[in-house]
Amino acid sequence: MKEAFKAFVSASYRSAFAVLGITLSIFMLVITANAAFVSYSTYSRIRDDIRIEVFPKVRTEEVVSFLKVLGGVDSVEIVSEEKARKEFERFYPQLSDLLSRLGEDVFYPMVRVYPRDHWREVEFLDILSGEIEAYRGVAGVYYGREWLKAAQDFFKFLLGANVVVLLTAFVVNLLVSYYTVRFVVHHRRNLIEILRLAGVSPFRLRYPYVLLSVMYALISWLLVAPVALYLVRYYGPAPGMLKFNTTLLGGVLLITTITTVMGGLRALSDLERGLR
């Protein structure tokens, strides 16, 4: 450990360059991973909230009996006039004055249909709503098709773009972690060559630089992890982000450490081959 610290201090500006490069690559990887997570979480919430509102023109129980045996339907909920009014007042409190002027006879009982998971794409919802609307006891069907299609298309594109950027950031992190350590070790080649020619064993020659690589990875990670966890804990826009980032940062530390150690060992291997 003492030798590793000496190597860190003796190449102070190169060490600072290595730590800065690895820190920025980790920071970029964490940002893109969180962007992908938020995109996926938002898209999942949109899918989970998809429902078809069916307005019966016969007895509600008759429509419910039809819907329960219809393929693609996961569950059915009866919404009374009173419940519909309360939901409207909760979601649109700014329209309470308008509602009071319209009177009591505004809302009608309806049946809320929740599709199965694989039926929640717009194309399948069109088929399902068409089958429901064709039933003789149904007066109308609504599920906000245009808004839902636009939202699904946007978040699918956003999620795909974030995944591409995330993969790019991951590759950049690997390359930066690998080559910055190689750069630092190569600039110590004169000392390494002297020690090797003096008969220092390969193990004693390698382990300080293995520890040095671990130090680079750990210092860089410590510069990012507390900031990321603090921001996610207090300002995270999606549920589950703290757990996701805890797992993500653990994986990033492991991968960065392995990559920096491999870069250091490869640089030492290149130097040893040059002495033969």
Q: How confident is the model at residue 98 (pLDDT cuts 50, 70, 90)?
A: low
- Whole-number pLDDT of residue 102: 63
* Average pLDDT of the residues of the chain: 81
Does residue 274 have a pLDDT over 70?
Answer: no
Question: In whole angstroms, what is the distance from residue 76 CA to residue 69 CA?
Answer: 11
Mean pLDDT of 49-62: 88
Lowest pLDDT segment from 45-49, 107-111, 266-270 = 266-270
Q: How confident is the model at residue 193 (pLDDT cuts 50, 70, 90)?
A: low
- Whole-number pLDDT of residue 178: 85
- Whole-number pLDDT of residue 4: 45
pLDDT in tens, 1-54: 554 445 445 556 677 788 888 899 999 999 999 998 998 888 888 888 889 999
- Whole-number pLDDT of residue 188: 64
Give me the phi and psi of 121, to 5 degrees please.
-80, 150
- Whole-number pLDDT of residue 276: 53
What are the Cα distances from residue 189, in Å, to 1, 2, 153, 200, 205?
19, 19, 54, 14, 11
Lowest pLDDT segment from 51-55, 74-78, 192-196 = 192-196
pTM above 0.95, yes or no: no
Lowest pLDDT segment from 15-24, 39-48, 177-186, 246-255 = 177-186
Mean pLDDT of 56-61: 87
- Whole-number pLDDT of residue 13: 66
Does residue 220 have a pLDDT over 80?
Answer: yes
- Whole-number pLDDT of residue 221: 94
Please report the DSSP string for the chain in residue order: -HHHHHHHHHTHHHHHHHHHHHHHHHHHHHHHHHHHHHHHHHHHHHHHT--EEEEESS-HHHHHHHHHTSTTEEEEEEE-HHHHHHHHHHH-GGGHHHHHHH-STT---EEEEEE-GGG-SHHHHHHHHHHHHTSTTEEEEE--HHHHHHHHHHHHHHHHHHHHHHHHHHHHHHHHHHHHHHHHHHTTHHHHHHHHHTT--HHHHHHHHHHHHHHHHHHHHHHHHHHHHHHHHHH-SSTTHHHHHHHHHHHHHHHHHHHHHHHHHHHHHHHHHHH-
Mean pLDDT of 198-221: 76
Q: What are the chain's domains? A: 2-45+152-275 (no CATH), 51-142 (3.30.70.3040)
- Whole-number pLDDT of residue 230: 93
Mean pLDDT of 115-138: 90
- Whole-number pLDDT of residue 255: 93
Question: In whole angstroms, what is the distance from residue 97 CA to residue 90 CA?
Answer: 13
pLDDT in tens, 148-176: 888 888 888 888 898 899 899 999 888 88
